[in-house]
């Protein structure tokens, strides 16, 4: 009874966890905690922990088995694991002891001497009472320890996964299977499934093993002939469940993939709800969502049929065993080899093993789900990033002058390897000078900016900063000296202050305001009701495009970088604001190497050099006047814009 209640509780808690996981999968995709992200110190402990587990990222790692990896993940909670396992062993022993006493109790009612009957029943009653106290206590301690362990593991898995994810090269995120929705669903659901694998499954396995071993030992001790027959039938029950487990393992993988797809669609729909509303695409998104859900449902139904067949077969086999046991027990009593009391004891004791194995067997689908989740978690935790931002042997420059050089660079995005974006591309930018990249859309301007940040590695050629290949630098150090204002300014769901501080977490109040002034953002921020404490909204939705861009510029300025990368940094501003911000940028650009990409050619007058890019190659390069007088590609671009 106790056992069944525990099983039911575990099933119910799994369902709750899964439900909560799905809910939080979407909500966690929406909330970002800027402070946590910017607080790199909190991650360092974890990354050390991960490095301990994975070895240094650049070394090829020996792949340990999933079980060893799971143990390594739980290592810090070894005390809780030992206490919990000890209690699970005791609780596992409770059931065979209870069965033994129950058998003895029944036989006590057949004693003719009333006094002896009374004293035996009193003794067995006392044992029952002790079992009650022991069960209560060990259950309490066991559940507390395993639950606490599970919670800590979930927390650690989520943090480790996010820490690891943030070290992955940008190209990994470009892949379809690694979209933000899929990753959020992994972070939310799979850590939970692993938790249940640790907390519930480990305790259940220990309990089952103890109970089965003890029951077999007791059964053989009481009446070995009957016990041998009863034990001989158990493999049939186990085989039935084993087959079911293998079938379900394959199916749970498929249903997991389908669920990820559904969560991904939902997360993207919520994140991009404005675009969906504007294009009236609600029905299309819903039908996509329904189609993936339908696949989930079909898989679920098939799974239930199989589960029913497996459980049904196991149950029938158990009843068959009972019939055989009574028949053979009666035969042995008839032959005078054992007493009727022995039949009851052995029957009750070994009856429990069949049930325990059967019930543990019915959890195989959860186990299959758990191991699929575990595999997916470890795929992230043990992946070696192609571009490691913490490369320890990398050069850590104290100062960077800012000379940038592209030497015969060829590049294609890893997600689209057949489209060559840059072909034999060479470019030199002197330290402290500014260059403007212009050219038609899709010509490769943003790609050049991304390569300076080493978001990707080139297929051929070298990108050098101050004469050193960017691959030789410790990336985190290098990136600290480069600031990027992207084409689509990204703000986080924190206050304006938090967002500016993202550039330099230890900046003072005065420095924040100075950076905001330089970006022409101070006035509009001061006019907001909450000033610098104004909440930007998720991805900055509560601000206009121009406001977002000015905050992004302030965030770059506060970093005091040696290299400033401005990818259409003023494209969302109106003419007047653009002029003011451009003036501010011109001031900030003095003494720094600046690479600016601009569509509106009016903003690049101040650049010392202009490079016109077409189809991934420089078709023209020179000063403004020089290019205008040549009457070539740049001249045509300017003329075209003037006409517009
Ligand atoms: N993450 C990516 N994965 C695959 N291909 C990409 C990716 N980003 C850009 N591209 C492709 O690379 C080419 C160059 O893109 P890039 O963004 O560098 O152009 P751009 O000159 O900045 O254009 P725009 O002026 O419109 O911003 C385009 O054909 C684009 O489709
Ligand atoms: Mg671009």
594 lines ligand 1 (CB under 6 A): no
Mean pLDDT, rounded, for 523-531: 89
Looking at the CA of 450, name the nearest ligand. Answer: 1
Domains of the chain: 2-381 (1.20.1560.10), 391-481+609-644 (3.40.50.300)
Q: Is the pLDDT of residue 11 over 80?
A: no
445 lines ligand 1 (CB under 6 A): yes
Q: Which residues lie closer than 8 Å to 447 by C-beta, 6 or more apart?
A: 411, 413, 421, 422, 616
616 lines ligand 1 (CB under 6 A): no
Mean pLDDT, rounded, for 227-253: 69
Mean pLDDT, rounded, for 330-343: 90
pLDDT band for 53, please (50, 70, 90 cuts): very low
Alpha helices, DSSP H, located in 544-622: 545-557, 575-589
Looking at the CA of 421, name the nearest ligand. Answer: 1
Q: Answer for the pair 462, 407: CB distance below 8 angstroms, yes or no.
A: yes
442 lines ligand 1 (CB under 6 A): yes
What pLDDT is recorded for position 385?
87
Q: Is the pLDDT of residue 67 over 70?
A: no
Nearest CA to ligand 1 atom 3: 413
Look up residue 640 and give its two tokens. 């075209």
Which atom belonging to ligand 1 lies closest to the Cα atom of 448? 18
Distance 263 CA to ligand 2 centre (A): 30
What average pLDDT does the chain have?
A: 80
Q: Which residue has the higher pLDDT, 422 or 642?
A: 422
pLDDT band for 65, please (50, 70, 90 cuts): low
Convert the pLDDT of each residue in 277-332 to its tens digit. Answer: 887 778 888 888 888 888 777 777 877 787 778 767 767 777 777 788 889 999 99
Mean pLDDT, rounded, for 608-612: 91
Mean pLDDT, rounded, for 268-278: 83
CA angle (47, 52, 57) in 5-degree steps: 70
CA pair distance 196, 193, nearest whole angstrom:
5
Distance 489 CA to ligand 2 centre (A): 12
Convert the pLDDT of each residue in 116-153 to its tens digit. Answer: 999 999 999 999 999 999 999 999 999 899 888 888 88
Q: Which residue has the higher pLDDT, 423 or 390?
A: 423
Q: Is the pLDDT of residue 444 over 80?
A: yes
What pLDDT is recorded for position 624?
86
User: Which residue out of 413, 453, 489 has the highest number of ligand 1 atoms within 8 Å of its CB and is therefore the one to mutate?
Assistant: 413
Report DSSP state, residue 535. B
540 lines ligand 1 (CB under 6 A): no
Nearest CA to ligand 1 atom 19: 442
SS3 assignment, position 462: strand
Distance 420 CA to ligand 2 centre (A): 16
571 lines ligand 1 (CB under 6 A): no
Distance 446 CA to ligand 2 centre (A): 4
Nearest to 225 by CA among 120, 311, 337: 337
Q: Which residue has the higher pLDDT, 95 or 580?
A: 95
Which atom belonging to ligand 1 lies closest to the Cα atom of 568? 27
Which atom belonging to ligand 1 lies closest to the Cα atom of 450? 18
Least confident of 185-199, 239-253, 477-491: 239-253
174 lines ligand 1 (CB under 6 A): yes
Q: Answer for the pair 478, 465: CB distance below 8 angstroms, yes or no.
A: yes
């Amino acid at each position: 009874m106790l056992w069944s209640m525990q099983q039911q509780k575990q099933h119910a808690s799994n369902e709750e966890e899964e439900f909560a996981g799905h809910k939080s999968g979407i909500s966690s995709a929406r909330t970002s905690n800027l402070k946590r992200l910017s607080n790199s110190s909190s991650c360092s402990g974890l990354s050390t922990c991960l490095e301990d587990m994975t070895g240094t990222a650049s070394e090829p790692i020996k792949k340990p088995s999933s079980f060893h990896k799971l143990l390594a993940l739980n290592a810090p909670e070894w005390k809780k694991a030992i206490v919990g396992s000890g209690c699970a062993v005791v609780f596992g022993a409770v059931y065979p002891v209870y069965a033994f006493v129950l058998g003895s109790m029944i036989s006590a009612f057949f004693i003719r001497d009333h006094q002896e009957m009374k004293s035996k029943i009193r003794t067995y009653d006392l044992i029952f009472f002790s079992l009650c106290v022991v069960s209560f206590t060990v259950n309490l301690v066991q559940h507390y320890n395993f639950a606490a362990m599970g919670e800590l593991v979930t927390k650690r898995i989520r943090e480790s996964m996010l820490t690891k994810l943030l070290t992955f090269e940008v190209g990994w995120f470009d892949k379809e299977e690694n979209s933000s929705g899929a990753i959020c669903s992994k972070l939310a659901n799979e850590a939970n499934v692993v938790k249940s694998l640790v907390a519930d499954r480990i305790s259940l396995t220990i309990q089952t093993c103890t109970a089965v071993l003890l029951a077999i030992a007791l059964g053989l001790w009481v009446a070995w002939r009957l016990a041998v027959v009863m034990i001989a039938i158990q493999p049939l029950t186990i085989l039935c469940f084993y087959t079911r487990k293998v079938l379900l393992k394959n199916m749970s993988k498929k249903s997991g993939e389908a669920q990820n797809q559904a969560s991904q669609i939902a997360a993207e729909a919520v994140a991009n709800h404005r675009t969906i509303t504007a294009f009236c695409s609600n029905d299309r998104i819903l039908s996509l969502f329904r189609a993936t859900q339908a696949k989930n449902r079909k898989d679920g139904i098939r799974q239930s049929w199989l589960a029913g067949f497996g459980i049904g077969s196991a149950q029938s086999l158990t009843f068959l065993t009972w019939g055989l046991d009574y028949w053979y027990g009666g035969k042995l009593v008839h032959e005078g080899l054992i007493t009727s009391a022995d039949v009851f004891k052995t029957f009750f004791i070994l009856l429990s093993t069949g049930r325990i194995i059967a019930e543990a067997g019915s959890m195989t689908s959860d186990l299959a789900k758990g191991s699929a989740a575990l595999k997916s978690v470890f795929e992230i935790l043990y992946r070696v990033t192609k571009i490691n931002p913490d490369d320890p042997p990398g050069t850590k420059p104290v100062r960077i002058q800012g000379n940038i050089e592209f030497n015969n660079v060829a590049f294609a995005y890893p997600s689209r390897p057949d489209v060559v974006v840059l072909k034999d591309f060479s470019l030199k930018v002197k330290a402290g000078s500014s260059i403007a990249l212009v050219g038609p859309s899709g010509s490769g301007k943003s790609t050049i900016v991304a390569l300076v940040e080493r978001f990707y590695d080139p297929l051929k050629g070298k990108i050098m900063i101050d004469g050193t290949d960017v691959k030789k630098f410790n990336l985190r150090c290098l990136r600290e000296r480069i600031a990027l204002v992207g084409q689509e300014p990204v703000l986080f769901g924190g206050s304006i202050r938090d967002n500016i501080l993202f550039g330099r977490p230890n900046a003072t109040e005065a420095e924040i305001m100075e950076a905001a002034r330089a970006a022409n953002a101070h006035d509009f921020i001061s006019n907001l009701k909450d000033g610098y404490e104004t909440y930007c909204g998720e991805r900055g939705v509560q601000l206009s495009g121009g406001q977002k861009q000015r905050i992004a510029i302030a965030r770059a300025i506060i970093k005091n970088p040696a290299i400033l990368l401005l990818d259409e940094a003023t494209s969302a501003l109106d003419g007047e604001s653009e002029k003011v911000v451009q003036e501010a940028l011109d001031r900030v650009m003095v003494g720094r190497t600046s690479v600016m990409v601009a569509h509106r050619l009016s903003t690049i007058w101040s650049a010392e050099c202009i490079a016109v890019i077409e189809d991934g190659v420089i078709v023209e390069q020179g000063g403004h006047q020089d290019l205008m007088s040549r009457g070539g590609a740049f001249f045509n671009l300017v003329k075209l814009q003037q006409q517009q």
